[in-house]
Amino acid sequence: MEFLIVEDEDALNVFDRGYLEYKQFDHYCKEGIRFVTRLKNNACVEVLKEL
């Protein structure tokens, strides 16, 4: 499955909670691709920095 990702440094990609592909999210982070999504209630997360 292919997704429309904007790799412009000013872009912010938004995903629906139904799309949970953690390996892809990891790739986006490593490539500096900014994105936001809602997590499921049972997601395990580690807060790195509060803004």
Mean pLDDT, all residues of the chain: 85
**pTM exceeds 0.85:** no
Beta strands in the chain (DSSP E): 13-15, 35-37
pLDDT in tens, the chain (51 residues): 466 788 888 999 998 877 778 888 899 999 999 999 888 888 888 889 998
> Strand, coil or helix: what is 30?
helix
H/E stretch holding 49 reads: none
Number of compact structural domains in the chain: 1
Q: Supply the pLDDT for residue 38.
A: 87
Question: What one-letter code names the amino acid at 11?
Answer: A
CB atoms within 10 A of CB 23: 6
Q: Which domain does 22 fall in, by range? A: 1-51
